[in-house]
Amino acid sequence: MIILIRFILLLLNFFTFQLMNFNITDYYIKAINIILWIILFYFIFIFVFDGLTNPNLTFDEAGQFWLCKGLHHFSPLNSIEGNIIDTMKFNRIFNLDPGGLSFIGFFWLKISNSVFFIRLLPFLFSIFCVFFLYKILLELKLNSQTAFLISLFFFLSKSLVIFTFTFRAYIFEILGVLILLYLLIKYKDILFKPSILALFSIVFNIFMWTRYGFIINIIAVNFLIIFIVFDNKALNNNFIKNFLLIIVIPLILNFVFMYFYEIKYHLRGGPTSPTLWYKENLTLKHNSFFETLYNNFFCTRGLPFLFFILTIISNLKYNFFNICRNIKYIFYWMIAVHIFTIIFSFFGYYPWYIKGRWGLTLEFISLLSAIILFILIIKKIEIKSELIKHYKTTLILIMLFVLFNFRSFNYKSYCIEFLSKFNNSHAKIAFVNWYLTPETKFNLIYNPKFKKLYKTKEFNFYEYKEINKQPKKHTWFLVSDPTNLELKNELKILKFRYKFIFISSSGLILEAL
């Protein structure tokens, strides 16, 4: 990361040297900045537009939609929508999150059921994420324009970009993490005040219901609060009393309620997750510590945090924390989150795994490490050329370079393509496998293009093991599976003659002959 940034700065220095012969003035530099801003916002607009208008819902997104409706992934097609109690009841059975998004989504979807509006909710969370990242960068002594530009780096993380428009609780959790981090460095000198502790308590108890991984952040931040108050020599009996009354007791009560209402069902497993194996098999309880350490720090996503640690260690004499005191507390927070994640992972409760949805906080730590390294370089490098002094131009150029090579949110499930082909075919009966069931139901009821389809043709939602009878002629089978295992099993189970109508890497349509 450091080498790449320095290489870009070197190129810009060379570019500046060439332009200096033409006596570039501040006027022209400002003009370049304005043009780059326009181009940057054009690409951001395209990125946002593509994300919000993507009509394809993943299995989890469509399932989340039905949970918000007081139903579940496999509710019968014409089921009557439930109430908020039904939403939370089905959440504990068909979801592995505490249900905060299901609760909010229940009221949010009272306004509209369009895909645009569904994706708008996580996008709004993302906007708030950028806002709080911007506020954090201001606390790191950056000017407002530079802080805004660097805050857009939030969208450069592959996983965070995907979840920017994904109707799941992932970005909701990251928003809570950013709010906590901002409060920690903003009020570091007055953390002993009851009003500030009350702010933390509100954030803790609300965002605890986003995803279970947020509990790790709650523990890490509470330890840091105590450490900072102790470091500021403000640790006394009044603080301990206020801390217990305002933070600890409400957290315990909230956790006990969550345990009996959600957690105990998820630990035991529900109909769709009897063992929670895909979480447990990623923990240190089932994996080597050194192998997991390697996977977390020596992969592309983990390298920025590793470089950040090495930068701090290799410059202990210089003490980078002198540049900005807040960097110290951010660094301590990063270390604390990793330590408590390791502890939870050791007992098999949560994976210490940066790749994927379970490691979003760890990936955000890595992204923030890259941002801080970038800031340290800006503050440390002596910038002599006229153009580089206006490093906002440099930042915009880097953003443009990334956006030019950036792949936007373009998830495709093939469900809409399946339904379009079926709608225009002579077939009257369709069997839809389990993976496509939630999204197919959504399109049949809420997509104007297919609203009349299920009234004129017959749909059967099934598991492939249930297909054991000779189907009627011209019956269609819509099959999709992310692992491709379902497709192979489907072809083994279906003993009758058929032809392929459509086939791709993750989906197919068969027609019985």
Which tens digits make up the pLDDT trace of 437-471? 899 899 989 988 888 887 888 888 765 555 555 66
Q: What percent of the chain has pLDDT over 90?
A: 27
Contact 329, 188 (CB under 8 A): yes
Q: What angle do CA 139, 145, 151 make, to 5 degrees?
A: 65
Which carries the bigger pLDDT value, residue 298 or residue 22? 298
User: If residue 512 lies in a helix (H) or strand (E), which one and from where to where?
Assistant: strand 507-512
Contact 392, 146 (CB under 8 A): yes
Contacts for 482-485: CB closer than 8 Å, 24+ residues apart = 482/59, 482/435, 482/506
Q: Which residues pair with 429 in a beta bridge?
A: 458
Beta bridge partners of 477: 431, 510
Task: Give DSSP secondary structure letters for 222-285.
Answer: HHHHHHHHHHTT--SHHHHHHHIIIIIHHHHHHHHHHIIIIIHHHHH-BTTBSS-HHHHTTSTT
Condensed to tens digits (0 to 9), the pLDDT of residues 32-83 reads 777 777 777 777 788 888 888 888 888 889 999 999 999 988 888 888 999 9
Percentage of residues in the chain having pLDDT higher than 70: 75
Q: Compute the distance between CA of residue 176 and CA of residue 461 in angstroms, rounded to an integer.
A: 38
Q: What 3 state SS string does 452-483 have?
A: CHHHHCEEEEECHHHCCCCCCCCCEEEEECCC
> And the tokens for 39?
């181009």
pTM confidence score: 0.85
Tens of pLDDT, residues 135-155? 999 988 888 888 888 888 777
